[in-house]
Amino acid sequence: MRSLNARERETYAYLIPLTRAMIEIYHKQLGMPNFLPHLPTTDTSPTFFEDFQTYCLSEEWRIYIEKQVKPFMEEYVAVNFSGVSAKMGKLWRKCFDLMNTDIHRRERERGEGKLRFQAKIIEPFYSLRKSELARHAGILNKRFNQHQSTLRQWRASKRFLTGERGAWAERTDEHLYWKLSSQENFSRMRLKLTQNFMFDPHLEASQLRDNTGPIFEAAETITLELVKEARVSDMELQDDRLGDEEWNIISEGTETEQGGTVKEKTVVSEECNLITLVDVIPGKLEVTTTHVYFYDSSPDKEEGSGQDFKWSLSHLREVHLRRYNLRRSAIEIFFINQTNYFINFKDKKVKMGASSRTPSQSICMNQTSLRGTSHFDTRFNPSQTL
C-alpha cells in the first residue's frame, strides 16, 4: 500500500511482477475467488499494472488484507521468529555485559597504569627536582655568604686604613655624627655609639612645623661619588658581625681545642614558625651535634634573602620555654652576643619531644634552660620564666 505513493513508483514497479506471479500460483489457496470477486485477471488483461494499482485502493482489497493476510502473517511471525527474538535479546544482553566488563577492566588497567607511572616516573622526578633545587639553593646561599664575608673584610680593611686614626686617614674638618649602636651587653643595654653616615638634621620638617618657611642657603653641592660613599646599607651595618665562614673557622678552632673533630649529625628536625615583631615566618628548625639551623620556607622568599640562620652550639647561652598566644608551644633561644630568636611549634608535644630527643652536648632543656653548655643560668623555675 505504501508503494502506491507517487514517491514510491520504482518500488511498485518492482513488486507488481511478484504480486502477479503469486496471484496466478496461489489464487485458490489464498481464497481469492471468495473474498476478491472483482480482482483483475492476470492472463488476458494487458493493463494489469494500472488496473491492480486502482484495485488496491478499493475497500474490498483493504478488508481482505486486514481479515485474511494480517492474521496469517502474525501467526507465521510468532511461530518462526519468537524464539529468534528471545535469543537475540539474550545475545544483546550478553554483549552488553561483556562490553561493561571490558570497559571496567580498561578503566581499572588505566588507573593502575597511571599509579605505576606516577610511582615510577612522576614521584622520582619530583623527588630529584626537590633535592636538586635544595642543592642549588644551598650553593647560592653559600656563594652569597662568601661574597658578603669578602665584602665585610674589604670594608673593615678600608676603614682601618682610611679611618680617623688610619695611616691613610682623610684629614678633613667635617663634622662626625654618632648614633646608638644595636649591640647589647648581657643586661640588654646598648652602651656603644657608632658613626651615623646618614645623619639628617630634618631642617625642612622643623620649618614646616614652626611655619618659618624654607631657609635659602648657599649649600655646597654634594657629588654623587660622595653620596655613594656616605650611604650605608643594611649589609654594611653588619660588618662587625661574624658571617658563616667566620663561625665555621671559630667552630673548627673550638672543636680542635676540645681534642678532635666532631662529626655533625642531625638530632632534631621539626616544622616551626619564627616569630618576629611584625611577621610570622614558617620554616624548619634543625639541631645537630654542632649547630642550630633555621630554614626559611615562606612562599614569598626572594633569592639571597630570608630569615635563615645558623649558629654554633658553643655560642648558645640559654633556651627558655615560652608561651605564644597563651599556648605553651614556644621556646626562646639566647646566644652569647645577645641575639635571641622566638620559635613557636605547632604542637606542645612537638616542643617537648624536640627537647627530650636532644643529646647532652646539644640543646638539653630541663623545663627551663640549657644544660650541657658553659653558659648556663638556672636562676628561674618554669613558672617564673613563663
Core vs surface per residue 234-268: b (16+ CB within 10 A) or e: eeeeebeeebbbebeeebeeeeeeeeeeeeeeebb
For residue 354, is it within any domain? yes
Q: How is the chain split among helix, strand and coil, in percent rounded to 5?
A: 50, 15, 35
Any idea which of 9-18, 27-36, 83-92, 337-346 has the lowest mean pLDDT?
9-18
- Is this structure's pTM higher than 0.85? no
| 42-58 residue pLDDT tens | 665 666 767 777 777 78
pLDDT of residue 153: 93
pLDDT of residue 2: 54
**Distance between CA 324 and CA 353 in Å, rounded?**
18
For residue 224, is it within any domain? no
pLDDT of residue 155: 85
Q: Are 282 and 273 in contact (CB under 8 A)?
A: yes
Its domain, for residue 294, covers 259-385
Domain with residue 317: its CATH number is 2.30.29.30
> What does the pLDDT average to over 10-39?
74
**Distance between CA 135 and CA 127 in Å, rounded?**
12
pLDDT of residue 371: 39
For residue 42, is it within any domain? no
**Distance between CA 242 and CA 42 in Å, rounded?**
124
Whether pLDDT at 140 is above 80? yes
Which amino acid belongs to residue 59?
A: E
Q: What is residue 304's three-state secondary structure?
A: coil
**Distance between CA 125 and CA 62 in Å, rounded?**
80
pLDDT of residue 69: 80
For residue 45, is it within any domain? no
| 339-375 residue pLDDT tens | 889 999 987 776 665 555 544 334 434 333 333 333 4
> What does the pLDDT average to over 165-183?
81
Whether pLDDT at 196 is above 60? yes
Residue 382's contacts (CB-CB under 8 Å, 6 or more residues apart) are: 321, 367, 368
pLDDT of residue 224: 57
Per-residue confidence band for 378, with pLDDT thresholds at 50, 70 and 90: very low
Any idea which of 22-36, 102-116, 295-309 has the lowest mean pLDDT?
22-36
173 or 123, greater pLDDT: 123
Q: Are 366 and 375 in contact (CB under 8 A)?
A: no
pLDDT of residue 95: 93
> What does the pLDDT average to over 15-20?
75
pLDDT of residue 150: 94
- CA 3 → CA 72, 77, 222, distances in Å? 22, 22, 110
Enumerate the H helices of the chain as residue ranges.
Answer: 9-25, 32-35, 48-55, 59-64, 70-117, 123-162, 203-210, 224-230, 234-237, 244-258, 348-356, 382-385
Q: Are 289 and 362 in contact (CB under 8 A)?
A: yes
For residue 231, is it within any domain? no
Strand order in the sheet with 280-288: 309-312, 291-296, 280-288, 266-275, 340-345, 327-335, 316-324
Greatest Cα-to-Cα distance within the chain, rounded to the nearest angstrom: 147
For residue 134, is it within any domain? no
- Give the cell for residue 313: 652550639
For residue 216, is it within any domain? no
pLDDT of residue 244: 54
pLDDT of residue 117: 93
Per-residue confidence band for 215, with pLDDT thresholds at 50, 70 and 90: low
Q: Are 39 and 27 in contact (CB under 8 A)?
A: no
> What does the pLDDT average to over 138-165?
89
Whether pLDDT at 267 is above 80? yes
pLDDT of residue 280: 92
Burial environment of residue 368 by CB neighbours within 10 A (0 to 12, 13 to 18, 19 or more): buried
166 or 331, greater pLDDT: 331
Number of domains making up the chain:
1
| 144-155 residue pLDDT tens | 999 999 998 998
The mean pLDDT of the chain is 76
For residue 325, is it within any domain? yes
How large a percentage of the chain has pLDDT more than 70?
70
> What does the pLDDT average to over 234-259?
51
